[in-house]
Amino acid sequence: MRSYDDKVLNAFLEKQEQLFDERVAETLEEADDFLTEVMAVVVDSADEVVEYFEEEGVDMDGGVDGDILQADEVFEIGDGRYLIVES
């Protein structure tokens, strides 16, 4: 059984090179295994992305909240949710 749904996995497969120099997964199963291993988080909104980084103690250097959505670790899923992958 997969830990992440197909929308999340497909978004990661399509955009993984924004964070990694080379592909870390080629299939849905490989993507699920990788995301599970690194304990990637799915949040339901842009506000929750900001909350996540604040709770993790990430200094956002006074940046605008929207700037964090452009971070390499943040993947827009396309349905309002975001995947956060800390490598």
Helix (H, G, I), strand (E, B) or coil at 35: helix
Are the C-beta atoms of residues 45 and 38 closer than 8 Å to each other?
A: no
Does the pTM surpass 0.85? The reply is: yes
Q: Where are the alpha helices (DSSP H) in the chain?
A: 6-15, 28-37, 46-55, 65-68
pLDDT for 35: 98
Domain residue spans in the chain? Answer: 6-84
Region for 57 from its dihedrals, namely left if φ exceeds 0, alpha if ψ lies in -120 to 50, beta otherwise: left
Tell me the pLDDT of the chain (87 aa) as tens digits. 789 999 999 999 999 999 999 999 999 999 999 999 999 999 999 999 999 998 988 766 655 556 888 899 999 999 999 999 987
